């Protein structure tokens, strides 16, 4: 809501200047991350909290890798995107030093455009195509491949169940979850790298490499094809459950 009594100064926008970067970097190195709303006030930056957070996360944070993607990184992005769709943060999680924004940009500018995956088209041409198509096809093509607005059957982020715990216990749970994250992602990627030939779960027929209708593009793929979801939904140490969801 706008407050008429108090004419709030509009937060500064646009590209960050080196001196602003320095201020933010120094502030966070001193005070730590978080509570972004107060960062601009306390640091003297007249930026919004979101802007500060984004600048830190995507640019100033230590170990950020900048510059062109290596062939390996590009290959991994393509594979992961095939597997996960537009879940950029998950994909970026597999690329040390890369941010979701960077991966997303790279996909949209380099990979998507080149149509490396064949079916996927550049955003603009896709829009034009949608405009020209009849209603029935339009509805299909408008389906988000995996929009965050459309609820996935299972969340790809573990539910945090820290209710009723004290601060230290909460921290511990979060660390455990984080470890579990790495674990299932690692296994899923290994699985993917090995053409789904992994030992934990019986490979569903639709996930086998020679399955002719093995297509991810455009439509949200069924969750039983998503090995990431499998690992999370059913755990990494059990093969219970997956078979019951097979067609």
Partner DNA sequence: AACACCCTCAACCGCTAAATA
Partner DNA sequence: CTATTTAGCGGTTGAGGGTGT
Backbone dihedral angles phi then psi of residue 151, each to the nearest 5 degrees:
-75, 120
Q: Minimal distance in Å, beta carbon 2 to DNA?
A: 13
For DNA, the closer of residues 37 and 153 by Cβ is 37
Taking CB under 7 A as the binding criterion, the range among 57-65, 130-138, 213-221, 234-242 that sits at the site for DNA is: 57-65
- Per CB under 7 A, the segment of 23-31, 159-167, 198-206, 223-231 that binds DNA is 159-167
> Which one of residues 44, 65, 97, 105 is an interface residue with DNA (CB under 7 A)?
105
Residue 15 as a binder of DNA (CB under 7 A): the answer is: yes
Q: How far is the CB of 80 from DNA (least distance, A)?
A: 11
By CB under 7 A, tell whether 170 contacts DNA.
yes
CA distance 152 to 182: 21
Hey, what's the torsion of the CAs at 87, 91, 96, 101, to 10 degrees? -40
Which residues between 180 and 239 bind DNA (CB under 7 A)? none
Phi, psi of 47 (to 5 degrees): -105, 155
Long-range interactions of 152-158: CB distance < 8 A, separation 24+: 152/220, 152/223, 152/229, 153/223, 153/229, 154/223, 154/229, 154/232, 154/233, 155/232, 156/84, 156/87, 156/90, 156/228, 156/229, 156/232, 158/232
> Which is nearer to DNA, 45 or 191 (by Cβ)?
45
Q: Which residues between 23 and 52 bind DNA (CB under 7 A)?
A: 34-38, 47-51
Instruction: Give the residue with the Cβ less far from DNA, 25 or 170.
Output: 170
């Amino acid at each position: 809501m706008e407050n008429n009594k108090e004419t709030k100064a509009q937060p500064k926008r646009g590209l960050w200047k080196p001196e602003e970067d320095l201020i933010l970097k120094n502030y966070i190195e001193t005070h730590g991350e978080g509570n972004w709303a107060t960062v601009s006030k306390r640091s003297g930056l007249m930026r919004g909290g979101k802007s500060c957070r984004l600048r830190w996360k995507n640019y100033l944070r230590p170990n950020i890798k900048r510059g062109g993607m290596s062939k390996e990184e590009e290959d991994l992005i393509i594979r992961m995107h095939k597997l996960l769709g537009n879940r950029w943060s998950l994909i970026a999680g597999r690329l040390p030093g890369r941010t979701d924004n960077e991966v997303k940009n790279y996909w949209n500018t380099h990979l998507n455009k080149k149509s490396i995956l064949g079916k996927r088209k550049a955003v603009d041409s896709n829009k034009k195509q949608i405009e020209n198509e009849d209603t029935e096809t339009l509805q299909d093509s408008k389906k988000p491949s995996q929009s965050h607005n459309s609820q996935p059957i299972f969340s790809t982020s573990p539910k945090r169940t820290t209710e009723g715990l004290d601060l230290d216990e909460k921290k511990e749970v979060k660390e455990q979850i984080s470890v579990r994250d790495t674990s299932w992602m690692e296994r899923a990627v290994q699985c993917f790298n090995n053409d789904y030939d992994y030992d934990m779960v019986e490979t569903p027929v639709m996930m086998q490499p020679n399955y002719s209708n093995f297509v991810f593009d455009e439509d949200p793929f069924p969750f039983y094809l998503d090995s990431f979801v499998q690992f999370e939904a059913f755990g990494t140490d059990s093969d219970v459950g997956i078979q019951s969801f097979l067609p």
